[in-house]
């Protein structure tokens, strides 16, 4: 059983960036009426461009039966929730390594670095809208791996 831990910048650093507006803004814009949290994700694309998309993701029940992971070799991939509901984040150092799971605080998004193995977008309580920034270009930017035996993922104290 994999128990999700709270998502922190430090714990997630080997896999990508945590995107959140916490602490003081980097600087202010719009006549000092808007605090900007600047350059929060390291987008990385082999060529092509950054695509900006919206998604409406269907929730998963817990414990989650994690059957597969995927990665994107040609570009990073960012997911930012457009509401305040937490979602589950699963990452792995590779198909032969047990995954790690994180739970967001509802105000955090994630940016998976290029080539990082991760689970699918996993809202937990209701359909959830997301902003997605990822690679748009030529070539196959999706590799998947199906585990021979699924991992079970739960939340702490569940």
| pTM score, whole prediction | 0.92
Q: Per DSSP, what are the bridge partners of residue 49?
A: 136
Say how far apart CA 129 and CA 83 lie, in whole Å: 7
Sign of CA dihedral 114, 73, 105, 153: negative
Report the C-alpha gap between 44 and 113 in whole angstroms. 7
What's the structural domain count of the chain?
A: 1
Q: What is the DSSP letter of 4?
A: P
Q: What is the pLDDT along the chain (158 residues), one digit of tens a residue?
A: 999 999 999 999 999 999 999 999 999 999 999 999 999 999 999 999 999 999 999 999 999 999 999 999 999 999 999 999 999 999 999 999 999 999 999 999 999 999 999 999 999 999 999 999 999 999 999 999 999 999 999 998 86
Query: Secondary structure of the chain: what % helix, strand, coil (to 5)?
Result: 5, 50, 50
Expressed as residue numbers, the domain containing 21 is 2-154
What CATH number corresponds to the domain at position 133? 2.60.120.480
Contact of 7 with 101, CB cutoff 8 Å: no
């Amino acid at each position: 059983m994999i128990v999700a831990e709270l998502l922190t910048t430090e714990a997630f650093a080997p896999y990508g960036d945590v995107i959140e507006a916490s602490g003081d803004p980097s600087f202010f814009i719009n006549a000092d009426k808007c605090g900007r949290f600047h350059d929060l994700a390291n987008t990385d694309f082999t060529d092509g461009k950054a695509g900006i998309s919206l998604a409406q993701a269907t929730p998963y029940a817990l414990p989650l039966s994690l059957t597969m992971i995927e990665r994107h070799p040609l570009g990073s991939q960012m997911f930012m929730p457009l509401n305040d509901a937490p979602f589950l984040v699963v990452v792995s150092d590779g198909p032969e390594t047990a995954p790690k799971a994180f739970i967001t605080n509802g105000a955090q998004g994630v940016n998976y670095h290029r080539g990082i193995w991760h689970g699918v977008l996993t809202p937990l309580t209701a359909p959830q809208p997301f902003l997605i920034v990822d690679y748009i270009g030529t070539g196959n930017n999706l590799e998947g791996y199906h585990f021979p035996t699924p991992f079970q993922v739960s939340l702490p104290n569940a």
